[in-house]
Amino acid sequence: MTARKKSFPRVPEVEYDAPPATPQPRSVADLLKQDFPILDWIVPDVIPDGCHLLVAAPKIGKSLLSLMLAIACAQGGEAFGSIKVSARPVLLMDLESGDRRLAKRLNDFGITTVPSTFQFHTDPGTALAVMREFMENHKGQSPLVILDTLSEVMGPKPRDLAPMLHEKRTLQPIQRLCADDPGASVLIVHHNRKDKTGDSVDSSSGTHGLTGAVDGIFVLERPDRQKPEANLIRNSRDIEDAVFGMTLKGVVWTFDGRSAGKARLAAEERAVRERLERQGKLGHKALELLKEHGPLTPAEMYELCNGEVKLQSVRNALARLAGRDLASKDPAGRYSAVYTPELGEFVELGNSANSGKQGVKARRVGARHKPSSAQKAGKRRE
């Protein structure tokens, strides 16, 4: 009797997918041959197309600026009081205001008729979905979305996610909407950080995940809320950085000089003037401190200033005083007041261009002052 062979079920052949091809680097020569869309502008020579942050402190006029820009772009009017812009579809997402406040602001601008492509939205919960649909409906028409403010759509951060990644993931879908439609733009209004670093890029509240995910950052800087003067600081990936001088007239932000070029010159002149004023104030304060506590080294005076100024600024102020014979420096590096003038008897301590004349004037003023006890003692020894 022949033994029956055991039969086993046939194992089906497994088809394996080919391993994915290893990504290869691309040729720089091919890159140089590519044609890219020409960079266009929301506001010529000021704000290019793309995804940008508009950063400012609360209640200094950033919402007025963004509303003014939305109106100008929707109507094809003038931005910043004088710069002609092209008409385009505009979606104003005023997420911190209701219908009543937005209507009042539009009335303040004297707006009575607008094109149908000028739309608004005020519900934070559906903001991103509405933005996406608006951009799709107006693809190829250079749509502009103004999102005011970013914090309304940020959402809570997951516990296991780093703050930088959370902010970056919030902005990436918005950035992608701009990248998928050349000419489309989003201006995102955001609050600044409370502690000032002196760097406009770092002025944005949050981490570098925000500033690194956008094409540009615009900082509205208004040093004195009681004064109408301000600067609009531009930091961009695609064009040169710039500072534009601005003035708030009623509810309208206008460029100083009524052009982008003249506004840049106005900002430079204002910066020089403010620097001279700061140097002059520091010079007066340095003389007061030398009178009360001298002789002092720059480091000792810096401590007395309680961190209000930088150490290098103190060094520069003392060097200017010594150069004008208002202070003397001993071999140990300590400064003493040569005399103690009353504040206001000489002007512009910060202006090095007139140091000679000011030094002469200061010496004349000093001659009318009563000599110090050390000077009297020196005369007695003579």
Q: Which two tokens stand for residue 172?
A: 């990436």
Distance, in Å, from the CA atom of 314 to the CA atom of 300, rounded to the nearest integer, reads 10
Long-range contacts of 358-362 (CB under 8 A, 24+ apart): 358/324, 359/323, 359/324, 359/325, 359/326, 362/324, 362/325, 362/326
- Given a contact cutoff of 8 angstroms between Cβ atoms, the answer to whether 348 and 276 are in contact is yes
Task: Give whole-number Cα distances, 204 to 67, 142, 209, in Å.
Answer: 20, 27, 11
Can you give the pTM of this predicted structure?
A: 0.70
Q: Is the pLDDT of residue 187 over 50?
A: yes
pLDDT score at 270: 87
- pLDDT one-digit tens code per residue, 329-361: 999 999 998 854 443 333 334 444 334 333 333
Q: Which two tokens stand for residue 90?
A: 């505009």
- Given a contact cutoff of 8 angstroms between Cβ atoms, the answer to whether 286 and 71 are in contact is no
- pLDDT one-digit tens code per residue, 275-288: 767 768 888 888 88
Q: Which domains does the chain have, with CATH numbers?
A: 41-258 (3.40.50.300), 271-368 (1.10.10)
3-class secondary structure, 143 = coil
Q: Which residues contact 278 (CB under 8 A, 6 or more apart)?
A: 350
Q: Is the pLDDT of residue 93 over 90?
A: yes
How many other C-beta atoms can be found within 10 angstroms of the C-beta atom of residue 371? Answer: 13
pLDDT score at 207: 66
- Given a contact cutoff of 8 angstroms between Cβ atoms, the answer to whether 207 and 165 are in contact is no
Kindly report which listed range (96-105, 175-184, 216-225, 354-363) carries the lowest average pLDDT score: 354-363
pLDDT score at 32: 93
pLDDT score at 358: 39
Q: Which two tokens stand for residue 188?
A: 């995102």
Question: Of all helices (H) and strands (E), which one includes residue 235?
Answer: strand 229-236
